[in-house]
Structure 1
Amino acid sequence: MTTSEPNVADGIVVVDKPAGLTSHTVVARIRRLAGTRKVGHAGTLDPMATGILVVGLNRATRLLGHLQLADKSYDATVLLGATTTTDDAEGEIQTTASPAALGEVTAEAIEKAVAGFRGRISQVPSKVSAIKVDGRRAYERVRAGEEVALKAREVTVSRYDVLDVRSAAQAIEVDISVDCSSGTYIRALARDLGVELGVGGHLTMLRRTRVGSFDLSAAYTLEELGEDFRWLPIADVAGETFPRYDADAEQATAIRTGRPLAGLKLGAGPTAMFGPDGTFLALYEAHGPLAKPTAVFVG
């Protein structure tokens, strides 16, 4: 982890996003703190959500698309007993369940329902998702009063644990922890759990605790970054994420211009190519007898 004054080089910042801010707002703040215009993020978080937002600086914005960021982890709270227009606490309540119906929802019934959402499942995204429908975001159409119908998609929920169940007269709160593939909507899991139990449900808290190999131990709040801007150099991220190849001077010259290389025994998938001075140069992959560039980060 590198600390520096503004005008940092290429790297990754792992932000612990607060509630109430959009991902776009977080990027804007990182842009000011880092003293660079070239900032991007991977994996949007809704304003109500907190937790991991992976942000790229300068040339590392291009690295984001090559990092293994598909697997994510979340802690969340589902409120059973009411549905909302947005499948979360920010929407208007649509329906409520009777105390009698809630009284029939036991911890055992919740566990049984949750089991049906583990593994490879078909999920209809929330209507207020960022999915584009005829060129416009679904949430934009919903907020404009339009009716939106989204198609189901397959996602993977590799872990779905019930951590706690708290019952009251008008609602049941369920704390959950989930590992899932990119494209999984936790709001939809909350909605569908309520449907399965017959009482309705929506999300009241969401915290992303992991994106790929980045977890909360590597994350910093905006306040902490404002006091001491901490970032991961692109060379460190590439070296820890991909197999490493240390090129000699002649090979490094070829890599800098994206030329194919012969005689290298690279494994499957991208390999991080480094120059003799330790500079991260590119990602290369094996293509038959040649190693060819996937992305070049110098020059």
Structure 2
Amino acid sequence: MPAHPKPPTGLDGAGLLVVDKSGGVTSHDVVSACRKALKTRRIGHAGTLDPMATGVLVLGVERATKMLGLLSLTTKEYTATVRLGAATTTDDAEGDTVSTADASAVTDSGIDEAVAALTGKISQVPSSVSAIKVDGKRAHALVREGEDVVLEPRTVTVSRFDVLQRRRGSDVIDLDVHVECTSGTYVRALARDLGAALGVGGHLTALRRTRVGPFTLEHARTLDEVRDDPHVSLDIDAAARTAFPHRTVTSDEAESLSQGRWLDPIGMSGIYAALDEDGHTIALVQERGKRASTVMVVRPATLRP
């Protein structure tokens, strides 16, 4: 009599897929294409990129989708091009031009001073075409419906805002910049505010995300590469080791965690991965008081063979 096939565990093919998104497609387009390539519906993203932007987009596949909300993706890194001399409705090149000014008189020292003022902990008004919700609707959707949207300022940290190259045209200046910032920072708002501070307007003409948390372009593959060789960038164990601190647990402790029970704390802060002696991730754990409790059981006892 033939043996019954084992039920799927959600661990086969599970992990994080880091995509190098191309310009002109939405993040949802990327998710859809990856679902087709990997032949699964269980794919989600850990934050979107604007259609114009390129670079690092982190996706969770199969059981790793449960990991996405726990990832510490609080820092991001970008390269971008800021054009001084024109402001747009979207603060980037996809919007309509609302004002122009001759930027030829703007000095390098003036640019440096304005950039310095936008570095560190700053108050920033997000772009009106951001994905922030206003009364239950995305701000960009309200703008498309013809509504005027002014979002509340928020405190963000720009740890690095470096001008790498300056190119002067007849009446515009293009600045290639490198930005490191906290999550929630809008680079196009930096371009807008830089241009406003210099009195000539500014917007982004290019944006490339080079890092999200610990995930960089070195982990990333293009959509064509994913289609040609469909697999995750990091399996669920490698993803946990890359994204979280980790501790090795005994076989008895692994069994307890697999059943959702807690362990004694060892003084580790934040969420960390508990690995068995073979390096497999059993659970993501967080210590509170006298307990190290599971926040996600990666390998529940019910799913193990």
Q: Which residue of 1 aligns with 2:112?
A: 111
Gaps spanning 5+ residues in structure 1: where? 1-6
Spell out, residue by residue over 1:195-231, the C-alpha distance to the aligned partner (whole angstroms, 9 max, x if none). Answer: 0000001111000011111111111101111112242
Q: How big is each residue's C-alpha offset from its partner over 1:114-145, in whole Å with a ceiling of 9 and x where there is no partner?
A: 00000000000000000000000000000110
Matches within 5 A, 1:3-152: 9-97=13-101, 99=102, 102-152=103-153
- One-letter amino acid of the structure 2 residue matched with residue 171 of structure 1: V
Amino acid at match of 1:15: V
* CA–CA separation in structure 2 for the residues paired with 1:61 and 1:294: 14
Measured after TM superposition, the shift of residue 168 of structure 1 is 1.3
Compute the TM-score of the two structures, normalised by the length of structure 2.
0.91
In structure 1, how many angstroms separate the alpha carbons of the residues matched to 2:99 and 2:146? Answer: 19
**Aligned residue pair count:** 289
* Matches for 1:196-235 after TM superposition, within 5 Å: 196-231=197-232, 232-235=234-237
Measured in 2, the distance between the counterparts of 1:243 and 1:86 equals: 39
- Equivalent residue letter for 2:62: N
Conserved 8 A contact 1:128-1:139: yes
Q: Residue in 2 aligned with 1:242?
A: 244
Name the SS for the 1:261 alignment partner. coil
In the alignment, residue 284 of structure 2 is paired with which amino acid? L
Structure-2 residue corresponding to 1:267: 268
Q: What amino acid does structure 2 have at the position aligned with 1:195?
A: A
Deviates more, 1:105-114 or 1:184-193: 105-114
Which consecutive unaligned segments of at least 5 residues does structure 2 have?
1-10, 301-305
Q: 1:163-205 deviations in whole A, cap 9, x for unaligned?
A: 1111112311111110000000011000000000000011110
Given the two structures, how large is their TM-score scaled by the length of structure 1?
0.93
1:12–1:55 CA contact under 8 A, matched in 2: yes
- Structure-2 change in CA distance of 1:91 and 1:288 (3 Å): same
Aligned counterpart, 2:5: none
Paired AA for residue 238 in structure 2: D
Structure-1 separation of matches of 2:141 and 2:53: 19
- Is contact 2:76–2:181 with CA below 8 Å preserved after alignment? yes
Task: Tell me whether 54-63 or 195-204 shows the greater mean CA deviation.
Answer: 54-63
- Residue 159 of structure 1 aligns to which amino acid in structure 2? R
Cα distance, 1:250 vs structure 2 = 2.3
Counterparts of 1:89 and 1:241 in 2: how far apart (Å)?
A: 34
Q: Which amino acid aligns with 1:150?
A: L
Q: Secondary structure at the match of 2:60?
A: strand
1:25 and 1:117 map into 2 onto residues whose CA distance is: 33
The percent of aligned pairs where both chains have the same amino acid is 52
Higher mean C-alpha displacement, 11-20 vs 65-74 = 65-74
2:293 equivalent in structure 1 = 292
Give secondary structure in 1 for the equivalent of 2:112: helix
Amino acid corresponding to residue 221 of structure 2 in structure 1:
Y
Tell me if structure 1 keeps the 8 A contact 2:214–2:242.
no
SS in 1 for 2:55: strand
